[in-house]
Structure 1
Amino acid sequence: MSIVLVALALMLVIATLLPLLRFNQWWIRVLDFPRAQIATAGIVILCFYLYYWDTQRPYESAVLALLVLAVGYQVVKMLPYTVLMPKQVLTTESDSDDANISLLVANVLMENQESKALLGIVRKYNPDMILTVETDRWWEKALRTLENEYPHTLKHPLDNTYGMLLYSRLELINPDIRFILEDSMPSMHMQVILPSGDRVFMHFVHPDPPNPMFATETTERDAELLIVGREVETREGPTIIAGDFNDVAWSQTTSLFQKTSGLLDPRVGRGMYNSFNAKNPLMRWPLDHVFHSDHFKLVRMERGPAWGSDHFPMFIELSLETGAKADQVEPDTNRAEGEQVDEKIEDGKQQADE
């Protein structure tokens, strides 16, 4: 067998093993993202491997076994985000929409200036709330026309790709812009009042992505997500957390966030809804998320069309229902996971203070 084939198989095995380590270096954590791509490459390599496999060479058999385990692990990690698994969030059967809330989340890509295309997407979905991230002052000016229909706003435009703009038809109660760990990275927190009179807690976040220039470790990203998760952990009221997490749905951190917060993921049992990269069909994964408490059932969820950004917009409509909590099971942490959350939060705070 070609040594190149063995080397490729071992590279895929290593790419599968590295994210299992509890290290926060960007080049390790970024391997959480392309699980579908790694699995697909592994299956292709496996086919060639089986064709050329020399059963008389023990090392080839050992590498084959590792390759099969690696591909199997990648598939298992993604399996919840397929129609083969039960839905974590049930589809609503309610006919009333007074207690519905709809949200459009759009990472605009700051240098992109296709504002008319985004406004067209807003008209298409007609959401109750619009969250845009990576929005600078140019984008704030370009989107002011939204205020005719969305009179309630919360804005913090920035030229560092972490600006956020929120437009809402629903009244905002105690809207607050916080800087959880870094002064350059805002997050938004508030309640909104539905037409039914019910109040919903809303949290919008956009932490730093792992990269070799500005975030060589994911310590602060992980801590920010988990701090918000801890905030809603014991809350009894209906809650939604959304934004560009710069992390994938199946990562260890997002799993800890979901278990800590007790929030549900409407993608489970439905699909991956890959929102990035809109410009590269071979390298896509879910970075834009909407998690919510078990007070809600799903009306509909869609990935919007490509429009000029490197992110697809995400649209979701949820129904606040009295019996939803009894029909759905929220995730929970065990003691070891709770200690890990505490450790990650403390590490993030320490790094932010340095």
Structure 2
Amino acid sequence: MKKAAITIIQAIGVFSILASALSLLPLENWYVRVFDFPRMQLLALSLLCITLYLWLGSKHRRRDKVLLVGLSLASIYQAINIYPYTALAPVQVKQAKQDNRQENELSIMVSNVLMTNQNYGKLMSLVKQKNPDILLLLETDSVWQNALEPVTQNYPYRVEIPLPNTYGMHLYSQLPLRQKRVKYLLEKEIPSIKTFIKLRSGIWVELHAVHPKPPVPTEAPNSKKRDAEIVLVAYDIADSDYPVVVAGDFNDVAWSRTTALFQEVSKLLDPRVGRGLFSTFNANYPPLRWPLDHVFHSDHFKLVQIERLPYIGSDHFPIYIKLSFAPENEYEQEEPEADEDTHEEAMETIEEGVEAAQEEEE
């Protein structure tokens, strides 16, 4: 019995080590990039294997020592990736002062509704409760658009893109919008939105909404187009003269190299750093959760509140954030910065994504 248990632990341990090593490879294939996602799970597996192996194993044989060293390195690597999204790390976005004027605040709710989900009432109740200035809905079709009319009628400004392919997108705003642009950056059926929001104080804020395809066998064989779309948005933002917010389902985790590229090129901040993971997917399987839905912003803002909202019947939890425009504190928060190597990597990412899109069209 003990021998069988040790064999199982060894097998799980080897998997944890290989999965951690695979994620280090600079390859875009889905079966490599998928291991960017479960870093918390791989850390837990590695630590569990170490604990059980020290308890059950002999620890004197060479293979035992090799396994323990490998598991220790895997644990350290995963912990380094996760650390910024724990309360132990310093925050990237400072907390807004309570005396800030409400006219400078901007609240946003992002929800991937799951197109086949029919629990419309749960989402409508949340919208009524949180009453966000901006409501961004993803995977929405015409059925969802019609079902949500009782709450969306309170949002006079909107961009509605109902699609039957799970990439529909609906943006509702209580604040004025201008220059509402729907873009199809790399694929004709995958929209993104760029617009400008007028805060109650009169300040205009640039807003981007995104939802690229994930690198999974049923959607895309690799992450090239997803990565390129994310980096293209970053370059669109890089030279902006406005305060900026980017929101959506990136189909990428906060700690991936692509998200790091996005932040370095765009110079946007992540309010989760130093506060928690706020894992939004998968809502149906607690052991398999990671942060896929994001809100990034320029250093013009500080954080009032961030919250993962309750279950609505989707495979994603909604996320809610309230920001405060505080330009007098500019440069108080350290922006990510891109060096020459970063720009070279980013341009290569875009070129590979464009080539992949062109090959699919042919």
Query: Is there any run of 5+ residues in structure 1 with no aligned partner, and where?
Result: none
Matched, 1:5 2:5: no
Tell me if the contact between 1:146 and 1:167 (Cα under 8 Å) persists in the aligned partners.
no
Matched, 1:228 2:233: yes
Matched, 1:170 2:175: yes
1:64 maps to which of 64, 68, 91: 68
Give a deviation string over 1:281-321, Cα, whole Å, max 9, x none. Answer: 11111000000000000011111000111111110010001
CA distance in 2, matches of 1:287, 1:37: 15
CA distance in 2, matches of 1:297, 1:346: 34
CA distance in 2, matches of 1:60, 1:341: 41
CA distance in 2, matches of 1:148, 1:123: 12
Tell me if the contact between 2:13 and 2:45 (Cα under 8 Å) persists in the aligned partners.
no
Of residues 145-154 and 135-144 in structure 1, the stretch that sits farther from structure 2 once superposed is 145-154
Q: Which residue of 2 aligns with 1:353?
A: 358
Question: Partner of 2:76: helix, strand, or coil?
Answer: helix
Matched, 1:113 2:106: no
Give the superposition deviation at 1:10: 1.6
Give the superposition deviation at 1:50: 1.3
CA distance in 1, matches of 2:53, 2:327: 55
Q: Which residue of 1 aligns with 2:47?
A: 43
Matches within 5 A, 1:70-149: 70-93=74-97, 94-149=99-154
Give the superposition deviation at 1:260: 1.1
CA distance in 2, matches of 1:169, 1:286: 27
Q: Which residue of 2 aligns with 1:284?
A: 289
CA distance in 1, matches of 2:157, 2:266: 27
Give the superposition deviation at 1:323: 2.2
Q: Which residue of 2 aligns with 1:252?
A: 257
Matches within 5 A, 1:197-212: 197-212=202-217
Give a deviation string over 1:109-136, Cα, whole Å, max 9, x none. Answer: 0000111111100011110010000001
Give the superposition deviation at 1:76: 1.2
- TM norm structure 1: 0.98
CA distance in 1, matches of 2:100, 2:68: 54
CA distance in 2, matches of 1:146, 1:121: 10
Q: What is the letter of the counterpart of residue 27 of structure 1? A: Y
CA distance in 2, matches of 1:4, 1:165: 48
Give a deviation string over 1:197-232, Cα, whole Å, max 9, x none. Answer: 100000000000121122110100000000000111
Q: Which residue of 2 aligns with 1:16?
A: 20
After TM superposition, the runs of 4+ consecutive aligned structure 1 residues lying more than 6 A away are none
1:342 maps to which of 347, 354, 358: 347
Tell me if the contact between 1:108 and 1:132 (Cα under 8 Å) persists in the aligned partners.
yes
Tell me if the contact between 1:153 and 1:166 (Cα under 8 Å) persists in the aligned partners.
yes
CA distance in 1, matches of 2:59, 2:211: 51
CA distance in 2, matches of 1:162, 1:5: 41
CA distance in 2, matches of 1:147, 1:123: 10
Of residues 183-192 and 320-329 in structure 1, the stretch that sits farther from structure 2 once superposed is 320-329
2:323 maps to which of 309, 318, 337: 318
Give the superposition deviation at 1:48: 1.3
Question: Partner of 1:103: helix, strand, or coil?
Answer: strand
Give the superposition deviation at 1:346: 0.4
Cα root mean square deviation, aligned: 1.1
Tell me if the contact between 1:201 and 1:238 (Cα under 8 Å) persists in the aligned partners.
yes
Give a deviation string over 1:5-29, Cα, whole Å, max 9, x none. Answer: 3332221111001011111111111
Q: Which residue of 1 aligns with 2:267?
A: 262
Tell me if the contact between 2:224 and 2:356 (Cα under 8 Å) persists in the aligned partners.
yes
Count of aligned residue pairs for this structure pair: 354
Q: Which residue of 2 aligns with 1:194?
A: 199
Give the superposition deviation at 1:4: 3.5
Question: Partner of 1:323: helix, strand, or coil?
Answer: helix
Of residues 317-326 and 66-75 in structure 1, the stretch that sits farther from structure 2 once superposed is 317-326
% identity of equivalent residues: 43
